[in-house]
Amino acid sequence: MGLFFNPFNNLICILLGISLTVWFTMLLVFIIVPAIFGVSFGIRRLYMKTLLKVFKVRVKVPNNCMKVKSPFETAIIAREPTSLEQEIKEIRRSGSNRDLNSASEFEMSDIFYFARRGVESIMDDEVTKRFSAEELQSWNLLTRSNYNFHYISLRLTVLWGLGLLIRYGFLLPLRVTLAFTGVGLLVFLTSIVGLLPNGRVKNYLSEKVHLMCYRICVRALTAIITYHDSENKPKNGGICVANHTSPIDVIILASDGCYAMVGQIHGGLMGVIQRSMVKACPHIWFERSEVKDRHLVAKRLSDHAEDKSKLPILIFPEGTCINNTSVMMFKKGSFEIEAKVYPVAIKYDPRFGDAFWNSSKYGMVSYLLRMMSSWAIVCSVWYLPPMFREEGEDAVQFANRVKAAIARQGGLVDLLWDGGLKRGKVKDTFKEEQQKLYSKILVGAQEDRSRS
């Protein structure tokens, strides 16, 4: 028996060795080497066009089966943009035939405005739905992208099965291999570069290592990125601020230019990566206790931005991930620094894969596996002209102006709400603002009556 199985086992080992050799040779020739030199053979673009043609097979399916109403386009509550004063006037006219100016005190009918708005907020909350995956209008053969899909046709079921085999049988192993290669090279090479004395050679090698490793990681996601207006790319001595959809936003931006990262010190694998990176490049990592000291954080950021030899700082002022439909309130901390601000807008194409990270539902590992088992990550990046804090403008006003520019360029909804509402409650200040607004209306009505 041993004589019979030994040649057979040897043959299996030889075939396995040949397969692994071919596999890593293809990775080296078609992915890793192009990433090192920053070139592309156009394979990913061709892959994206092929996917779009495959998706068009659905047109032979009845439209009412494929089309899904998007909650972001057809809201549950139909609202018209009116002010609090206008709505209360309308309620008073329809109820007591008295307009706002004729009443100097609170009217019972005013309650209906606040009650209605409360019910509308419960039924169609514009904040909470920004923290759930964006629902597509049509299916992209990923079951997790359309929860209204059950069974449509045999043809689509076969296509979905083939897609499942391709994504999990070929693309996922390929991407995992690339991810480990990129992260491993990043840790190893930055540690080596960190041994060199500070100077131009170290900065040059650090930049090349970071770019190479991030480009490999981009290919691990089959990310197809279109960069616009590259003449506005962030430069040394400035701060780059961008809207935040996913942790991979960092990779998307860093594969086109080097940045100084800002963040809290972690343990485990992330801690190993952070310690190796900071040896080669002056990233800004904070201890957990330091993050709470706003003045200390601002001081370190300001000192870094003032040094024109250091890389631009990359910051996501929202502080949490939003689902690729909106931009929420920017924290004012990074806008209190006297430095040039480079706004960047990032918009993902959800037809190929949902890049949004719902951190309250998925851990980092499961999220990355979902990304690597998607068709691709397709996005556009716009570099906006640098912005400066104007005279008489405070940090909050400056942050809102930058946020509005990013939302306008990326085609995103500009919201004033704090992203911290993802896990916290509404601050009392928001409630007080509504109370003050209503009080001003009553006071104004009293003043108008006294003058008349």
Q: For position 301, what pLDDT does the model report?
A: 82
User: How confident is the model over 255-272, as a mean pLDDT?
Assistant: 81
For residue 354, pLDDT over 70 is answered with yes
Structure confidence at residue 348 (pLDDT): 93
The whole-number pLDDT of residue 103 equals 46
- The mean pLDDT of 170-182, rounded to a whole number, is 88
Nearest to 345 by CA among 389, 441, 299, 409: 409
* Mean of pLDDT values over 59-66: 44
Of the ranges 117-126, 295-304, 305-314, which one carries the lowest mean pLDDT score? 117-126
The three-state secondary structure class of 315 is strand
- Segment among 53-67, 76-90, 280-294 with least mean pLDDT: 53-67
Identify the top-confidence range among 53-57, 138-142, 304-308, 442-446.
Answer: 304-308
Q: How many CB atoms lie within 10 A of CB 352?
A: 24
Task: Give per-residue pLDDT as tens, 136-162.
Answer: 766 777 766 555 555 567 777 788 888
* pLDDT value, residue 59: 40
The mean pLDDT of 82-99, rounded to a whole number, is 62
Q: How confident is the model at residue 6 (pLDDT cuts 50, 70, 90)?
A: low
Residue 385 confidence (pLDDT) above 90: yes
Using only C-alpha atoms, what is the Rg of the chain?
A: 27
CB 284 within 8 A of CB 231: no
Summary mean pLDDT of the chain: 77
Q: Look at residue 74 in the predicted model and tell me its pLDDT.
A: 44
Q: pLDDT tens digits for 387-446? A: 988 888 888 899 999 999 999 999 998 888 777 666 666 666 766 776 777 677 666 655
| Distance (Å, whole) CA 54 – CA 48 | 10
Proportion of the chain in helix, strand, coil states, percent, rounded to 5 = 55, 10, 35
Mean pLDDT across 13-29: 69
The pLDDT of residue 80 is 59
Q: Alpha-carbon distance 405 to 414, whole Å?
A: 9
Both tokens of 47, joined, read 């892959």
Q: What is the pLDDT of residue 65?
A: 43
Q: Are 310 and 260 in contact (CB under 8 A)?
A: yes
Q: Quick one: what percent of the chain has pLDDT higher than 70? A: 67
Read off the pLDDT of residues 211-223 as tens digits, 9 standing for 90 and up.
888 988 888 888 8
Higher pLDDT residue, 163 or 71? 163
Cα distance between residue 394 and residue 400, in whole Å: 10
Contact at 8 Å (CB) between 109 and 87?
no
pLDDT value, residue 69: 44
Domain extents in the chain: 86-98+110-126, 143-424
Q: What are phi and psi of 156, to 5 degrees?
A: -70, -35
pLDDT (0 to 100) of residue 148:
54
Whole-number pLDDT of residue 392: 83
Q: Using an 8 Å Cβ cutoff, are 320 and 422 in contact?
A: yes
Rounded Cα gap, residues 193 and 176, in angstroms: 25
One-letter amino acid of 143: T
For the ranges 25-39, 138-152, 284-298, 327-341, which has the lowest average pLDDT? Answer: 138-152
Reply yes or no on whether the pLDDT at 98 is more than 60: no
Using the predicted structure, report yes or no on whether residue 93 has a pLDDT greater than 70: no
pLDDT score at 366: 86
Is the CB of residue 341 less than 8 Å from the CB of residue 408? Answer: no
How is 371-434 classified by DSSP, letter by letter?
Answer: HHTSS-EEEEEEEPPPB-PPTT--HHHHHHHHHHHHHHHHT-EE--S-GGGGTSPPPHHHHHHH
- Higher-pLDDT residue of 57 and 387 is 387
Lowest mean pLDDT segment, chosen from 27-31, 50-54, 156-160: 27-31
More confident residue, 15 or 275: 275
- State the amino acid at position 216 in one-letter form: I
Q: What is the pLDDT of residue 78?
A: 54
What is the pLDDT, as a whole number, of residue 275?
82
Nearest to 405 by CA among 262, 251, 246, 243: 243
